[in-house]
Structure 1
Amino acid sequence: MTIPTFDNTIVLIPARMASTRLPGKPLADIAGLPMIVQVAKRAFEAGIGRVTVAVDHQDILDAVRAHGFDAVMTKVTHQSGSDRIFEALGHADPERRAEFIVNVQGDLPTIEPETIRASLRPLGDEATDIATLTVEITHEDEKTNPNVVKIVGSALSASRMRALYFTRATAPYGNGPLYHHIGLYAYRRAALERFVTLAPSTLEKRESLEQLRALEAGMRIDAEIVDSVPLGVDTPADLERARAILGNK
């Protein structure tokens, strides 16, 4: 059985210039560095494999390379991060050395390196196609918030579950914990190659959740349970929070 190692793993970080709520988001300054460079630093510190940023604009490409990280240009027209990283994989790894691909979102500048490392652990089970992360919901208002995606799963251990469904609804019903899905993914190469060939599925379109496409196609997704949700920078207020966090560090 092949397990993830530094030599057979690549971390890909999709970054797109267009953002309706925060224009030019990847280049926003956080503690003296562009946000996308802060994300690349966190991925590098995770130490799980080489790091490449998948960009759609020359300014992002130049900024990433100016700070010593690898970057590849991808199409502006991609509709999802998975499509962007698949194109980037072909550019960054034409020899097909990488058997495991970790997709770290480009708007997570404060993510802990250990959180990134945790995403690979479920792929130690050869039955798992895709790995992701989740955290137990502790704030009551998040349980009914449709912007907080929930993962309904079957426990495999105290720190891992097999995903049965993802939803914006409050689920599962009844007493017990609810889990917030964190949209960071680790793929077997074959799983990513299959996923990008699949058409959007019925439940995916209904819930507006891309990961349901994989479940509907019979792919297995396991989730590692972590301690906290990383800050995603989507608004000016989020950006100020990230600046405060990394400025203090």
Structure 2
Amino acid sequence: MIPARYQASRFPAKLMQDLEGKPVILRTYEATKKTGLFDEVYVVTDSDIIFELVVNNGGKAIMSKHEHESGSDRIAEAVEELDVDIVVNVQGDEPFIEKESLAKVLAVFKEDVNEEIDLASLMTPIVDWDEISNPNTVKVIVDGRNFALYFSRSPIPYPRDKGANPKYYKHKGIYAFRKRALLDFQRLPMLPLEASEKIEAIRFLEHGKKIKMVETEVTGIEIDTPEDLERARKVWR
């Protein structure tokens, strides 16, 4: 499932911006299909423009019936009546999504015989302090088994002792959910931490859900700003 809002606070209509001949959302849809990992791939949107673009290019799309605060809420509505076990949320602004990272996230559930994990997501190491301190970069800290402890737009952990050499991880906005956890998410209220940080993954933590983080070295490019789009165009060329 690829949630796709037309409006975006930092970069309005970013999913419809041209990326070397095709809009960003169409590039993301095609890249997700190309992995061959999924029975079905849908774009889930509140926009007639995005819906028609995907369908007119041979893709599958679902129109949201209600307004939603987050992509996970949007997907939960779309899958409620579908007979599925695992649902993967691929962000619409990730046109460089690739098979290796998605396969790692899906593998988590094959190994989870006790069904301890509610959802899984990706993290990638970061070392540049500008990126670590950038509020547009969501950071995550994990326990010894790589279960998420917290997500933040602030640098976490805070480097009070720089000699401790802490590792910093960027959260990549790709989630794989058990369907029941996704439906729970839709029904659970937003609490103060999520409201403050504007990071939907925090809702799961605040309500006691377990998020397994998977490390990947593949960074890709998330298109959050016009500058990101220019970088993406150069890479695509």
Report if TM-score (shorter chain) is over 0.5. yes
Q: Is the 8 A contact 1:136 1:178 kept in 2?
A: yes
Going by fraction, where is strand more abundant, 1 or 2? Answer: 1
Task: Quote the residue 1:188 is aligned against.
Answer: 178
1:116 CA drift (Å): 2.5
Task: Quote the residue 2:125 is aligned against.
Answer: 136
1:140 CA drift (Å): 2.5
Task: Quote the residue 2:161 is aligned against.
Answer: none
Residue 162 in structure 1 maps to residue 147 in structure 2? yes
TM-score of the superposition, structure 2-length normalised?
Answer: 0.88
Task: Quote the residue 2:231 is aligned against.
Answer: 241
1:21 CA drift (Å): 4.1
Candidates 85, 107, 118, aligned match of 2:104: 118
TM-score of the superposition, structure 1-length normalised?
Answer: 0.84
Aligned residues: 228
Residue 220 in structure 1 maps to residue 210 in structure 2? yes
- Change in CA separation of 1:48 and 1:209 when aligned onto 2, cut-off 3 Å: same
- Residue-by-residue CA offset, 1:30-59 (whole Å, 9 max, x unaligned): 122221111011111222211000011222
- Change in CA separation of 1:168 and 1:57 when aligned onto 2, cut-off 3 Å: closer
1:119 CA drift (Å): 2.4
Q: Is the 8 A contact 1:43 1:116 kept in 2?
A: no
- Residue-by-residue CA offset, 1:204-245 (whole Å, 9 max, x unaligned): 223332211111211100011000322111222222222222
1:32-47, aligned counterparts within 5 Å?
A: 32-47=21-36
Candidates 153, 161, 164, aligned match of 2:142: 153
5+ unaligned residues in a row in structure 1: which ranges? 1-11
Answer with 186-195 or 136-145: which moved more.
136-145
Candidates 84, 88, 91, aligned match of 1:98: 84
- Residue-by-residue CA offset, 1:64-116 (whole Å, 9 max, x unaligned): 012211001114621111111112224xxx3x321100000111112223222
Task: Quote the residue 2:7 is aligned against.
Answer: 18
Q: List 4+ stretches of structure 1 deviating above 3 A.
A: 20-23
1:191-210, aligned counterparts within 5 Å?
A: 191-210=181-200
Residue 27 in structure 1 maps to residue 16 in structure 2? yes
**Pairwise CA RMSD:** 1.8
5+ unaligned residues in a row in structure 2: which ranges? 159-163
2:67 and 2:119 mapped to 1: Cα distance?
A: 25
Percent same amino acid among aligned pairs?
39
1:151 CA drift (Å): 1.1
